[in-house]
Chains A and B, each alone.
Chain A
Amino acid sequence: MTGILTATLTVLLLALIFGALLGYAAVRFHVEGDPLVERIDALLPQTQCGQCGHPGCHPYAEAIAAGEAFNRCPPGGAATVQALADLLGQAPQPLDDPAGIAGSVRVARIREDECIGCTKCIQACPVDAILGAAKFMHTVIESECTGCDLCVEPCPVDCIDMVTLEPTLDSWHWTAPEVLIASDKDRGEAA
């Protein structure tokens, strides 16, 4: 009888101690907000282009955290889908890229002699990368441009081009060697 009592009391005591510990930890290490959203946001390319159907990368991160498909970011490309799949512990899905722009580095460029200074593109730019004032020529700060396309549509005179950046010596890097093993050599040359 004493044995049962001692055991019950011990378990009860342990339950109380650990309960108090957990309660303390819940208060002490309380996390505000959803850290997953921030981690997803950190993986998105921050072009703020809205091609995912959300008004920016952070809202899309929130949607992904809430269960939306994570393959709707063409500027991020397959690498972003892979990184998101790794983070979320899900199987990577093929990239949903209807316009086929994935992989190219693009920036907006204003044909400056045609610009009428309407400031419409300035208002459309999500990252404030367009410089200009009403009735003065506008120009794109190329290093800040994310290539999101959002300024192209509002332009009343169609003077904004999306330009694919050619690699320079600063951006060029070595490509992967051809994966051609010796037994494939004849096949490779035949093809």
Chain B
Amino acid sequence: MQLPGRFPGGIHPPAHKERSTQQPIRQLPLPEALILPLRQHIGSLAVPCVAVGDHVLKGQCIATVNGRSGVPIHAPTSGRIDALFDHPVPHPSGLSEPCIRLVPDGRDCWTDCQGFEDYRSLTTFQLLERLHDAGIAGLGGAGFPTANKLRTGVESTIHTLILNGAECEPYISADDMLMRERAKAVADGADILAFITRPQRVLIAIEDDKPEAIAAMHAVCSERDIQVVTLPARYPSGGERQLIQLLTGREVPSGGRPADIGVICQNVATAAAVERAIRHGEPLISRIVTITGDRVANPGNVEVLLGTPFSHLLKHTGLSGQADRLICGGPLMGFTLPSTDIPVIKTSACLIAASEAELPTPPPARACIRCGYCADACPASLLPQQLFWFANAGEWDKAEAFNLFDCIECGACAYVCPSHIPLVQHYRHAKGEIRALRQEKTKADQARQRFEAHQERMQREQEEQEARRRARAEALAQRSTAAQIATDDKAAKAAAVRAAVERQQKRTATDEATVKRKQLANAEERLKELKSTLAEVDADSDPRRHTRLLDSIARQEARIASLRAAVESPSTDAERHD
């Protein structure tokens, strides 16, 4: 089939896939303990719904999600919940995250699983609910919750459903072996996905270096409405955007999703997991992992329970000598594992135990010579060299303007770079810095809002306090005026009383004076009478009477004198009253 499109750039690295495809998929014995990280997908941490010491059955849900950003996690085998603890997870940072440790009881006893052979009787939303509850996340590498991705497809019109079996990265052969051995499961899963998204056509894309897988898929798809498309092997044709460009001739817009142009892309392993979840009711508890590399004695693909430590895998496939480098994922997009007790999660497709000769330590970078090979190799039509300069100089805004965020971090540019510049790490660093700055900006805006609200509240409170204080002061002023009025009343009364007293005193004083003056007048009259009587009385004839008269006159004169004195100075009396 002539492909309708092509993507620019790309590289042809040596595939190294043959050594892991010599044997069928193997099963491993149960490990001593399974370590299940609470985040095995894109989204938030799952929330444990079991307690330490609980006994769980195989397939039982042990961690749920709040909301839709994530998927639940299930017990990969029956056993006892041993611990909830922080443990290093497969991530380039080597950081720890909360994990559940499950000690298998060896019986591998399933919980009740209700499958639906006749899934067509269910509604789309029931199916999506089941996929979510089965914990299915994209097994291709990113780990995007499958139900969420399909929901975007249900909400828009989908014309093409693509099953991605390209598996373009060197060393990895998990999807290849899956299609060879379980083609029917993949095709059945594709039917279910098609039933959910209702596309006009279903394509399964496989690179031409996997003839066995192509033949197997052809065999099961011939009587179905599924088309098997063979792609020329070129890295990174398995990248979602590149694959869509190859198969439809259309580009997913920058910052957009495939559903925006009517395409949904799912990995073949995800399709097989969907088939197990819907038709058998089995949640996602295991995956196929490629164990390969020079140091692996018995390379191949193994079906591994999620949570199995990589050390258990290496123990059973054999490690010849000491691995110089342990890589989780492919050699181009994977990352170095710091230790082997890190567990397999839903997105771990491959473990490479490489020798130094096989994957040598990258030589130190030399200066960029502006050869432009990277721009030729870039499958996203970016200018890797410009991005490198900007990222190196910390000119994030310019890097963004040159579409840094359209970089899929495939590593093709670094692969062709003659100066061995770790370009992808520069881009990842720049992306991280820009995201951190954006986050800081959001946080600063939030803090500014809260600060302004706080200031406003403080001001309002102060104003209210001020108003209350003023009101209190006014009330106080009013009360004191009233008191003033009352005081004035009292003073007036006192004054009136005083005036009355004074008047009374004056009156009293006047009366006394008058009385005294009258008494004085009477006394003078009496003195005159006495004197005339004295003149009539002969002293010799009646000496006794004469003497009495003289005494009376003397008394009268003394009285007059005292009365006169009193009348002449009335004020002294008045003063004595005060």
Contact = CB atoms under 8 A, between A and B. Distances in A.
Given A46-B444, A144-B447, 11 more contacts: A44-B444, A45-B444, A46-B447, A126-B454, A167-B93, A169-B95, A171-B439, A173-B435, A174-B428, A179-B392, A181-B365
A21 B44 CA distance: 58
Contact of B91 (A57, A169, A176): A169
B364 A46 contact: no
B1 interface: no
A127 B451 contact: yes
Contact of A57 (B426, B431, B439, B448): B448
B29 interface: no
B23 interface: no
A172 B92 CA distance: 10
Nearest to B44: A170
A117 B363 CA distance: 60
Nearest to B447: A46
Give chain A's interface residue range (CB within 8 Å of chain B): 20 to 34
B451 A46 contact: yes
A44 B365 CA distance: 36
B450 A127 contact: yes
B365 A48 contact: no
A102 interface: no
A174 B91 contact: no
A146 interface: yes
Interface in B447-487: 447-448, 450-451, 453-455, 457
Interface of B: 39, 89, 91-93, 95, 97, 363-367, 392, 422, 425-426, 428-429, 431-433, 435-436, 439-440, 443-448, 450-451, 453-455, 457
Contacts of B429: 173-177
B95 to A, nearest CB: 6
Contacts of B446: 144
A180 B115 CA distance: 57
Contact of A181 (B91, B366, B426, B428): B366
Most B Cβ at <10 Å: residue of A129, A176, A184: A176
Interface in A152-181: 167-169, 171-177, 179-181
A184 B453 contact: no
Given A169-B93, A184-B364, A177 B454 contact: no
A73 to B, nearest CB: 12
B448 A174 contact: no
Contacts of A127: 447, 450-451, 454
Given A126-B454, A128-B454, A180 B364 contact: yes
A79 to B, nearest CB: 8
Nearest to B426: A177
B93 A172 contact: yes
What are the 4 A-B residue pairs with the smallest beta carbon separation, nearest first? Answer: A173-B432, A174-B428, A46-B447, A46-B444
Interface in A30-52: 41, 44-48
A185 interface: yes
B410 to A, nearest CB: 16
B89 A169 contact: yes
Contact of B364 (A56, A129, A185): A185
A173 B436 contact: yes
13 contacts: A44-B444, A46-B445, A48-B447, A127-B447, A167-B95, A169-B91, A173-B435, A175-B429, A176-B426, A177-B429, A181-B366, A181-B367, A185-B364
A93 to B, nearest CB: 18
A167 B392 CA distance: 23
Interface of A: 41, 44-48, 56-57, 125-129, 144, 146, 167-169, 171-177, 179-185, 188
Given A57-B448, A144-B447, A173 B366 contact: no
Interface of B is mostly: helix
A47 B447 contact: yes
B85 to A, nearest CB: 16
A76 to B, nearest CB: 9
Most B Cβ at <10 Å: residue of A144, A174, A180, A185: A174
Contacts of B455: 56
A182 B428 contact: no
B432 A174 contact: yes
Contacts of A175: 429
A171 B436 contact: yes
A47 to B, nearest CB: 7
Nearest to A173: B432
Nearest to B434: A173
A56 B458 CA distance: 14
A126 B366 contact: no
A17 B436 CA distance: 52
Most A Cβ at <10 Å: residue of B91, B365, B366, B451: B451
Given A169-B89, A176-B426, A181-B366, A48 B436 contact: no
Contacts of A185: 364
Contacts of A56: 451, 455
A38 B448 CA distance: 12
Nearest to A44: B444
A129 B450 contact: yes
Contacts of A182: 363-366
B446 to A, nearest CB: 7
B448 A46 contact: yes
Contacts of A180: 364-365
Most A Cβ at <10 Å: residue of B92, B97, B428, B450: B450
Contacts of A46: 443-445, 447-448, 451
A144 B449 CA distance: 11
Contacts of B91: 169, 172
Contacts of B447: 45-48, 127, 144, 146
